[in-house]
Each structure stands twice: as C-alpha cells, then as structure tokens.
A = this chain, B = another copy of it.
C-alpha cells in the first residue's frame, strides 16, 4: 500500500444504507468486531459497494482515540 494512512482493517460489508448525500457502510472485521463508516453517497455509488464485498476500512492514525476504561 502506498497510502500514508496507518490503519487498514480488512473485512466484509454487511450493510450499505444511502440517502441523498450520505451513505453508511458497516464492515465486519475478523474476531467478531465491526466498524461503521459514513462516506458520501457519491463514493458509495462509484465503488458500487454491496453486502458481501471484501473491503478495507482505512483510518488515519490521528483520528483514533484510546479508551482505557
């Protein structure tokens, strides 16, 4: 990968929901965890995202918080 974003979590799309401008995508990661993403509807359409697709959730390290509770 040539993208600087440090985080790339692979998984399977389990849900894609769209309204006019935004889309919400849920990805099931290994180990029983899942991650939810909001992207533009334009991007969801361009990538033609559908349930069952193998994708990566990509996250810049500066966007990740730690909860030590």
Contacts and interface: CB of A to CB of B under 8 A. Distances in A.
A27 B40 CA distance: 16
Number of copies of this protein chain within its complex: 6
Contacts of A40: 4, 6, 24, 36, 38, 61
Size range of the chain A interface in the assembly: 35 or more
Contacts of A48: 68
A59 B59 contact: yes
Contacts of A47: 2, 4, 66, 68
Given A6-B36, A31-B30, A57 B62 contact: no
A21 B39 CA distance: 11
A39 to B, nearest CB: 4
